[in-house]
Amino acid sequence: MGNRFSTKSKTNGSKSSRRSGGGNRSKSKLQSDEELLHIQALSLAIQHHQSSQRFEGSMSRRIGSAGSRRRSNPVSDPPLNTEKQQKQSPEFLENLETKNIVLIHGEGFGAWCWYKNIVLLEELGMIPTAIDLSGSGIDLKDTNNVTTLEEYSKPLIDYLQNLPEDDKVILVGHSSGGACVSYAMEQFQQKISKAVFLCGTMLSNGQKPFDVFAEQLGSAELFMKESKFLIHGNGKDNPATGFMFEKQQMRGLYFNQSPAKDIALAMVSMRPVPLGPMMQNLSLSKEKYGTGRRFYIQTLDDHALSPDIQEKLVRENPPEGVFKIKGSDHCPFFSKPQSLHKILLEIAQIA
């Protein structure tokens, strides 16, 4: 099973996420040292967040069918009063179908990226779980050996398989993590209360995750031939196994509105992206995926997946509801965590 992250285990420094896999003693020692450094950096970030709850943001929403009326000017998002919400939480929680929110990161990220929203959700009495996909975060699997979406999504699938029979969850998939959410909906539709695509790859049947980014990165064929970001884990004479943008490129694509401390955390924590899962056509049925409840959160200052492309995804594959975060880059869990928090709570309350 994949690694799961919670603030309670990370902040005290005495526990670490469960790790799978083996390896020789030197590899284990190196991984242990890297994990310790990462936990220390994450703990500092969490402490910084807990000392200040001021996050600014704005949002608008569109609920209903694709033809619903749309607000062109997102309204201002007032500061969230977490103390007031904590007092109201028992009644609030009683009316929810589920308190369980499972957070799935996007390409190169890991469970660590959700730390701000985990804190906010736990303060309210929700039960957030952030999962490292295969080869991501502190999962030990070599990225070069993750060749299919099934392998990449295995930690999420294992988690859903082990849920008690009557339990349901809300899945939140960021960026390419949306493809893992779609895959999980096809496998475990009965265990998923709602699926939330956060500037994510909300695919249609037969699409591959890379197709969503093709307008900005070029066609899959061209990317495989000419991209300077490709990684050939099995040697230059063999097909590419992954890719990773340079730090300056990542800053411009992902973090154009994010705080410096979060960018610094990302720069030391991001890992290569396995290429195989990004290039795999996804098979989605009307009977399973098609009957799931889908919601989309658009990020309006996104350089990795432009607002126009996100709008196209929504138009071509209409979800039940669409929300927008003004002033957010591709990582609203960093740049607009308060706005993202409010939207997740609103989606959780939709009957």
Catalytic residue positions?
175, 302, 330
Please provide the DSSP assignment of 29-71 as one string.
Answer: HHHHHHHHHHHHHHHHHHHHHHH-----EEEEEEESSTTS---
Reference 169, options 186, 188, 193, 190; nearest CA is 193
The answer to whether 136 and 105 have CB atoms below 8 angstroms apart is: yes
Residue 233 and residue 142 in contact, taking contact as beta carbons nearer than 8 Å? yes
Q: Give the closest residue to 299 by CA, choosing from 110, 71, 58, 55.
A: 58
Backbone φ and ψ of 218, nearest 5°: 90, 175
CA dihedral 183, 184, 185, 187 (to 10 degrees): 90
Residue 6 contacts residue 129 (beta carbons within 8 Å): yes
For residue 55, give Cα distances in angstroms to 117, 333, 334.
12, 11, 10
Q: What would the two tokens of residue 350 be?
A: 């939709």
CA–CA gap between residue 256 and residue 312 (Å, rounded): 22
